Amino acid sequence: MRKMMTAVAMASLLAFGTQAFAQDESPEDTPTPPAEDVLDLGTTQEPQAGQIYVAENSGDWEKRCIRAPEGQEDRCNLYQLLSNADGQPVAEFNLFRLPEGGQAVAGANVVVPLETLLTQQLTIVVNGGEARRYPFAFCNEAGCVARLGLTQQEVDEFKRGANATLRLVPVAAPDEEFMLTLSLAGFTAGYDGLEIVD
């Protein structure tokens, strides 16, 4: 039994010594691993109908689209995730273009936490300008949603601005407010690249 253990130990040492020796060999002498040992990174798959994908980035905005069934056009919007001072995600801003002919040329859905005091509404100030207030339309498990209609003048303010400030008031502390920054970097290119939603 002892001789067998010694033989196993010697075999292990020889194997280790061979590996150590192999590390000293020059790169030209090192054999290439067989093809089956190479990692397969897979292939990129196209999104399926109903799936959301990021078509492109424009500054701090993402152009997010929903893959439409074959023969139809994908629906896309501009998206930005807003975080608080601690870097925690708090709200989502989704903007889309509307058909011509109406007063609003673009629409947006802003999703905020369920603990928001709805009666205080959502207040948005673009580049330190005039404050505009928007009521919340509904709440679901994802949060509470304010639906915005933006005129051409308001869209132009977004294009000229550096950032916008969103004001929220929490239910637990109605005398306090949360200020979130919406970056407008890349907004113009992203907006101009959006297709009109029918």
Give pLDDT tens digits for 26-44.
555 556 555 555 565 656 5
Q: Output the CA–CA distances (angstroms, integers) from residue 158 to 14, 28, 134, 180, 181, in the order listed.
A: 71, 59, 16, 16, 13
Contact 65, 79 (CB under 8 A): no
* Residues 114, 139: Cα–Cα separation, whole Å: 7
Residue 3: inside a domain: no
| Tens of pLDDT, residues 95-117 | 999 998 899 999 999 999 999 99
Give me the CATH number covering residue 138: 2.60.40.1880
Q: What is the pTM of this model?
A: 0.73
Name the token pair of 171. 């239910």
- Residue 165 pLDDT > 60: yes
Residue 70: inside a domain: no
- Domain around 155: 80-192
139 strand-pairing partners: 144
3-state secondary structure of 50: coil
Residue 135: inside a domain: yes
Number of domains in the chain: 1
